[in-house]
Amino acid sequence: MTPCRQRAALLLLAATAGSAWAQSPGPNNAITDVPGITVGHSTGADSGTTVVIGSSTVGQGVGGGVTQRGGSPVTRETDLMRPDNLVETMNAFVIGGGSAFGVAAASGVMRCLEARGVGFPVGGGAVVPIVPTATTFDRATCGGPPASRPDFTSGMQACMAAAGGPVSEGNVGAGTGAVAGGVKGGIGTASVVLPNGIIVGAIVAVNSEGTPYDSDGDLRGASFGIGNEFSVLTKAGGHANKVPTSLPGGPLRSGTNAVVATNVALTKSQATKIAEMADDGISRAIDPAHTAGDSDTLFVFGTARVALASLGDEASVVTQIGSAAGDVVSRAIVHALIAAKSTSCQQSYCDTFPSACKNGR
């Protein structure tokens, strides 16, 4: 389907479905609701990696941007994403555990994409896949060294597993070794479809020094839910004396890393501005965010199914996408916490605050 026909179909769907569809999550409430997106996880004993592959209408590369506000980033190819640098498109994004060791997973993703002929053409039929990456330290290891780290093979596995449709959440992929404040962290995803056909999705690995819950135990980002999205949640009941002690912070010990996608074509400058706005979704759902020890890196890209100029004034459209992205990021963080399961080292949110989660979910 051409971008124009897809946008027309989305607008017709929004008009016929009324308010239930306009301002609602997509069918999977996942980043894969954005056309051109597939997601794959590789999960080890204590750590894992997640890849988000994005393709444009011609099957190659998407325009993207990045913001990095944590004080201890572990990243790869983020300089390439600056608007003043040459390469305009990226092929996939990796978020994962393993700290600096975990960056090796990106090489596996590169090899996987190269085998498919996907990447930046460099002549002679050769390509170099562009795979920006952000990793964080695995803290759900009972205070000892992790039993596993993402590596080249992990990246290959995640890439080969990448698919559309529903996305696994919680203790998988980049969420495997995550801790959020004093509870088990994880990976979560969410999406929204706007009345004018814009789709925005996010996937977030929550491994934060700060807490995603307030002093009463209620999740900070839950207020951004759409409709009955978080009907599983109730008030935690003001258990201030039961709020767990957060794991100690420090350089390279934590970080909330995210990937945001939209169906709108974006330049690197536009994507960078949207990334800055989307990053507010982290600080609304986690406090404190962007600490000296956090990696806190957020990628944004557009799969070019809809031309931005067809939606109206550039500044207004960028602002609309950025605003929606911030809310989607906050919602994805809540999904990560709800989906996370207790381990031998770290209780989940729902096990820590059982009155906050219906049926122990």
Does residue 20 register a pLDDT over 70?
A: no
Query: Average pLDDT, stretch 39-61?
Result: 92
Whole-number pLDDT of residue 240? 56
Those residues with Cβ within 8 angstroms of residue 201's Cβ, 6 or more apart along the chain or in another chain: 26, 30, 31, 32, 33, 34, 37, 189, 190, 191, 192, 260, 261, 262, 328
Whole-number pLDDT of residue 10? 46
Whole-number pLDDT of residue 16? 36
pLDDT digits over 97-156, tens only?
999 999 999 999 999 999 999 999 999 999 999 999 999 999 988 888 888 899 999 999
Listed by start position, the domains of the chain span 3-360
Does residue 175 register a pLDDT over 90?
A: yes
Confidence of residue 361 (pLDDT cuts 50, 70, 90): low
Does residue 276 register a pLDDT over 70?
A: yes
Confidence of residue 250 (pLDDT cuts 50, 70, 90): confident
pLDDT digits over 279-321, tens only?
999 999 999 999 999 999 999 999 999 999 999 999 999 999 9
In angstroms and rounded to an integer, the radius of gyration of the C-alpha atoms of the chain is 19
Does residue 348 register a pLDDT over 60?
A: yes
Q: Which of 60, 299, 55 shows the shortest CA–CA distance to 164? A: 55
Q: Among residues of the chain, what percentage have pLDDT more than 90?
A: 80
Does residue 196 register a pLDDT over 70?
A: yes
| Strand ranges of the sheet holding 92-96, from the earlier edge strand across to the other edge | 37-43, 48-54, 92-96, 133-135, 75-76
Give the least confident one: 38-42, 212-216, 272-276: 212-216
Does residue 17 register a pLDDT over 50?
A: no
Whole-number pLDDT of residue 11? 45
Q: Which of 272, 261, 274, 270 shows the shortest CA–CA distance to 305? A: 261
Whole-number pLDDT of residue 21? 36
Q: In angstroms, rounded to a whole number, what is the distance separating the alpha carbons of residues 88 and 65?
A: 10
Confidence of residue 239 (pLDDT cuts 50, 70, 90): low
Confidence of residue 245 (pLDDT cuts 50, 70, 90): confident
Whole-number pLDDT of residue 253? 83
Residue scoring higher pLDDT (124 or 251): 124
pTM score: 0.92
Which of 3.60.10.10, 1.20.140.10, 3.60.70.12, 3.30.365.10 is the CATH number of 3-360?
3.60.70.12
Overall residue count recorded for the chain in this entry: 361
